[in-house]
Amino acid sequence: MKNVRLYVGVLRKYKSLFIYITMFYLSMGISKYTQILYFQQNGKLINFSLAYSAMAIAGSFSFLITNRLEGMSLRKVAKILGLIYATGMILRVFFQSSWIAIISGSISGFGAAILILVVRKWIYAESDKNPEDKQILISSRYTIMQITSLLATLVTGLILFIFSSSNVVYIVILAATAMAIILLPANSVPADGEIKIEKKSKVFALPVNRVRGLSYLVAVIFMGITTSIVDPIAPALLRATGYNVGAVSVIITSLGVVTMLSAFLFQLPIFNKQPARYFWLVELFSGSIIIFCGLMTRNQYIWIMIAFIVMSVEGTGFFILKELVEYDMFPKEETVVYLGLAQSGFLIGDAIGAPVGTFLFQFVSGRILLILYGVMAMICGFSYMELSKVFERDKLRA
């Protein structure tokens, strides 16, 4: 009960921040879910895949231009990039052209990546000023992402059920979400003199310690591959073990609820004390169970359910603990640079992991995929724990 009151108190204290994050992720989720249904209805899923790929590529290279934002307040960046992101979103109404799909994806990927960077920088700055609220502030972003993801699916489905799934309705939803991004309460984002993006002297914003920065980027790319090697094809894995389409839909929704609720578990104070060590322990324990499930040859439909439940909880801990580790790990004077690398590395890994996972599923088996995921998860936990030690040693030498 005490933790609940503490959580509610933090939500009230940073009401403007949480309203901004909720509106941002809800608009993003509704637009994304609507776009795929819209393109599918018009027989242009290939254009959706082009837009998605362009979005990932553009977002992955966004860190290279963070230097261009030097001297700009987060509020100004939020206003400008909100307009850019909304432009990319409104272009989603044109499903006919592959080129427009690529342009739309590129603009959206770039705009969304920088806006996420603004949100994370804002959260870090508030955490610096109020260390006692750090854990809830950092973990709440992921919690809100999960809640709004479920809400986006429900809201979009309800609108399409009530008003029919005609092209006009799809266009109205896409236009409304683009307008919602424009109407984000950017004035609540800290203005000049409160929080600024750090100034860099180079053309591209890269860490001063290039070796450490490169090591971090490689680690994050590997983590991106890990998180995307199973998740995109989870429905296919369930179908392959014997679940029908209706059951798969119920299971995926239920797993989403498990993911959302488990976010509150990792907001317990104990995880804030040594996040790097707990990250390693969570990945070691979860990875071991997932590997065991993958090794089972009988009753696979039961073992894959157990594996997916564990992955839902583990995935939540993965992202929350990772961000807690990063808050302590990043040099304060290079926070934005490393946040840019974190986003870009994950997007690069995501672009690699999804096709790799699909290939292994089609040509090897789902069991091997689970085993591989378990091993990779443990490597992620160990590598991040070791990286945090390297960063800490460098801080002490400075």
Q: Count of alpha carbons within 13 Å of 205, Cβ hemisphere only?
A: 24
Assess if residue 83 is contained within a domain. Answer: yes
Asked whether residue 173 falls in the same domain as residue 265, the answer is no
Tell me the C-alpha distance between 288 and 212, whole Å.
29
Residue 6: both structure tokens together: 């503490």
Is there a single domain that holds both residue 210 and residue 258? yes
Q: Are residues 289 and 171 in the same domain?
A: no
Q: Please report, in tens digits, the pLDDT of each residue of the chain (398 residues total).
A: 555 676 677 778 888 888 999 999 999 988 988 887 888 788 877 787 788 778 877 877 766 666 566 567 778 888 888 999 999 999 999 888 889 989 998 999 888 888 888 888 888 888 888 888 887 888 888 888 888 888 887 888 888 878 877 888 889 999 999 999 999 888 888 775 444 555 554 445 567 778 888 888 899 999 989 988 888 778 778 878 888 766 777 787 788 888 888 888 887 888 888 888 999 999 999 999 999 999 988 888 889 999 999 999 998 889 888 888 888 888 877 777 788 788 888 888 887 887 788 788 878 778 889 999 999 999 999 999 998 888 888 776 66
What pLDDT shows up at residue 193? 46
Domain match, 258 and 309 both = yes
Number of domains in the chain: 2
Domain end (from 199, 222, 244): 199
Predicted pLDDT of residue 203: 46
DSSP symbols for 138-164: HHHHHHHHHHHHHHHHHHHHHHHHHH-
Do residues 248 and 336 share a domain?
Answer: yes
- The reply to whether 379 falls in a domain is yes
Instruction: Identify the pLDDT of residue 66.
Output: 62
Residues 226 and 361 in one domain: yes
Q: Which structural domain, as residue segments, surrounds residue 70? A: 12-199
Per the CB < 8 A criterion, the answer to whether 372 and 360 are in contact is: yes
Last residue of a domain, one of 156, 175, 199: 199
299 sits in the region (left: phi over 0; alpha: psi -120 to 50; else beta) called left
Asked if residue 259 is part of any domain, the answer here is yes
Residue 311, pLDDT score: 93
Answer yes or no: do 175 and 140 share one domain. yes
**Is residue 370 domain-resident?**
yes
What's the CATH number where 239 sits? 1.20.1250.20
Position 2 in a domain = no
SS3 269: coil
My answer on whether 81 and 215 are in the same domain is no
Amino acid 222: pLDDT:
93
For residue 58, the model assigns a pLDDT of: 81
Domain boundary among 158, 173, 199: 199
Q: Count CB-CB contacts under 10 A for residue 345.
A: 22
State pTM to two decimals: 0.77
Is residue 5 a part of any domain in this protein?
no
Residue type, 307: A
Amino acid making up residue 233: I
Q: DSSP class of residue 197?
A: P
28 and 176 co-located in one domain: yes
Q: Are residues 109 and 244 in the same domain?
A: no
> Residue 181: its pLDDT value, please?
92
What pLDDT sits at residue 201? 47
* Position 70 in a domain: yes
d(CA 122, CA 298): 49
Asked if residue 219 and residue 192 are part of one domain, the reply reads no
Identify whether residues 240 and 336 lie together within a single domain: yes
Cα gap 236→336, rounded to integer Å: 38
